[in-house]
Structure 1
């Protein structure tokens, strides 16, 4: 039986650290800043009205992985919870960004996103 902290065969990188983040790992930060950041930053600036100083803060960097051969989908869930008073359309109070580190196929993806969840 494949056990995991996110369901059968599913694990969280963030849970591996007491900070619930992987931003203390140099390779993780390098990927986010050098690779992903160059593509993501212009979009974040448009969403959060960047200007001279960014209108956003990176609060964490976790990540999940799934073992091969896991036959089921992850249960539908919300990665972030926001108080009703802060739940506005623009700019969003929080934004969860996912990066795929392998090709998406019929067997492994894509992530299901439900608007308003």
Structure 2
């Protein structure tokens, strides 16, 4: 009778081993499915980010080189405004600067 009980124990161990193997295989399959899903989601996010960055790049490219005539006119207007500002500032303080220079040149120090 001991041999029957031994055989039954072995059968129980084999059945438990098979069940454990099924559980491990199911876990591996679930893990692979999750990894595949995560990879697909990451690829979608990368594609969306790449499209967004490409759109921004094209927009900046169009702004910088799209209508070069307008850019030239804009830059000329900005330059002219800065030149006029510098001329008015120079005219405003030139008398004071000339007076200061004249005072330093004519002052004698020992």
Q: Where on the TM-score scale, by shorter chain, does this alignment land: which range?
A: under 0.3
TM-score (norm 2): 0.20
Larger % of helix: which? 2
Larger % of strand: which? 1
TM-score (norm 1): 0.19
Q: Which has the higher contact order (CA 8 A, sep 6+)?
A: 1
